[in-house]
């Protein structure tokens, strides 16, 4: 077992055909964000057009500003310029939040910050899951703003009851996903508190049978 905190945590995937491949938490995070973006582009074509517009403006700006381009190359920002860095998810129960925290941890993402939206009249509180090491942030800075509904703040009893019934009925995680998360954790105990990451768990090598 590798205990060097500087090393990237690896997942050894053994596929049905017997082949093996290795993916780091950074690679999984990058792939996850790419797949989310592709899915959203299919659902909302205008989103893809917006990304194309942003990329075109960025390219034209860098072509006309060599000083800015050189600066971004030195800091490593240039290679991440076209990487989408933000996503959002809305959860309805504490159980969903617990599972999403465990899933994000596999991808090297931990809860940072706390936002109480009830002060604005919205029955929700939130955190942002993201990498916390400089190395991981440079590799892929993708973060997911994660909101949790607070049923106790819904003043209408009938609406609160209806929301609770719907949330108890729905399942947003497949059984296979839950199995993979559980398979991962015994090899990498998660030490981070539920609302604020204080440190990055040391690098570990784990094996998941797919």
Count how many domains the chain has. Answer: 1
pLDDT exceeds cutoff 50 at 35: yes
pTM for the full predicted model: 0.74
Residue 62 located in a structural domain: yes
What is the model's pLDDT at position 24? Answer: 83
Token pair 């931990």 in the structure block, residue: 110
Q: State which residues form the domain around 150.
A: 10-209
Residue 4 located in a structural domain: no
Residue 142 located in a structural domain: yes
Q: Phi and psi dihedrals of 89, rounded to 5? A: -145, 145
CA separation for the pair 20, 16 (Å, rounded)? 10
Please say whether the beta carbons of 201 and 188 come within 8 A. Answer: yes
Q: In terms of Cα–Cα distance, which of 106, 142, 102, 144 is closest to 127?
A: 144
Residue 179 located in a structural domain: yes
**Mean per-residue pLDDT for 87-112?**
93
What is the model's pLDDT at position 138? Answer: 86
**Mean per-residue pLDDT for 108-125?**
94
**Mean per-residue pLDDT for 113-136?**
94
What is the model's pLDDT at position 50? Answer: 93
Burial class of 101 by CB neighbour count within 10 A (0 to 12, 13 to 18, 19+): buried
Residue 3 located in a structural domain: no
What is the model's pLDDT at position 76? Answer: 81
- Percent of the chain past pLDDT 90, that is, above it, reads 58
Q: What CATH number did the domain enclosing 62 receive?
A: 3.10.180.80
What is the model's pLDDT at position 204? Answer: 31
CA separation for the pair 51, 15 (Å, rounded)? 34
What is the model's pLDDT at position 19? Answer: 52
Length in residues, the chain:
210
Q: Average pLDDT over the chain, rounded to whole? A: 80
**Mean per-residue pLDDT for 167-180?**
92
CA separation for the pair 104, 110 (Å, rounded)? 7
Task: State the pLDDT confidence band at 155, using cuts at 50, 70 and 90.
Answer: very high
Residue 5 located in a structural domain: no
**Mean per-residue pLDDT for 77-101?**
90
CA separation for the pair 27, 153 (Å, rounded)? 39
Q: What is the pLDDT of residues 140-149, one digit of tens each?
A: 899 999 999 9
What is the model's pLDDT at position 146? Answer: 96
Percentages of the chain per state (helix, strand, coil), in multiples of 5:
50, 20, 30
CA separation for the pair 177, 199 (Å, rounded)? 25
Q: What is the pLDDT of residues 44-85, one digit of tens each?
A: 999 999 999 999 999 999 999 999 999 998 888 888 888 888
pLDDT exceeds cutoff 60 at 1: no
**Beta bridge partners of residue 145, listed in sequence order:** 88, 128
What is the model's pLDDT at position 207? Answer: 29
What is the model's pLDDT at position 42? Answer: 93
Please say whether the beta carbons of 29 and 109 come within 8 A. Answer: yes
What is the model's pLDDT at position 186? Answer: 65
Strand, coil or helix: what is 193?
coil
Please say whether the beta carbons of 125 and 148 come within 8 A. Answer: yes
């Amino acid at each position: 077992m590798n205990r060097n905190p500087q090393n990237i945590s690896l997942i050894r995937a053994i596929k049905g055909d017997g082949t093996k491949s290795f993916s780091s938490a950074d690679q999984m995070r990058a792939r996850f964000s790419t797949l989310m973006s592709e899915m959203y582009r299919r659902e909302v074509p205008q989103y893809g057009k917006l990304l194309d517009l942003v990329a075109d403006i960025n390219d034209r700006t860098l072509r006309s500003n060599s000083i800015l381009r050189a600066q971004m190359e030195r800091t490593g920002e240039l290679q991440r310029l076209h990487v989408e860095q933000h996503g959002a998810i809305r959860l309805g129960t504490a159980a969903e939040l617990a599972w999403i925290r465990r899933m994000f941890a596999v991808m090297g993402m931990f809860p940072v910050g706390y936002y109480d939206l009830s002060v604005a009249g919205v029955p929700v509180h939130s955190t942002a899951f993201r990498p916390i090491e400089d190395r991981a942030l440079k590799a892929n800075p993708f973060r997911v703003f994660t909101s949790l509904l607070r049923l106790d703040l819904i003043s209408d009893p009938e609406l609160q009851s209806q929301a609770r019934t719907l949330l108890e009925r729905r399942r947003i995680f497949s059984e296979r996903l839950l199995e993979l998360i559980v398979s991962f954790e015994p090899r990498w105990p998660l030490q981070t508190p539920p609302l604020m990451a204080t440190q990055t768990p040391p690098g570990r090598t784990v094996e998941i049978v797919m």
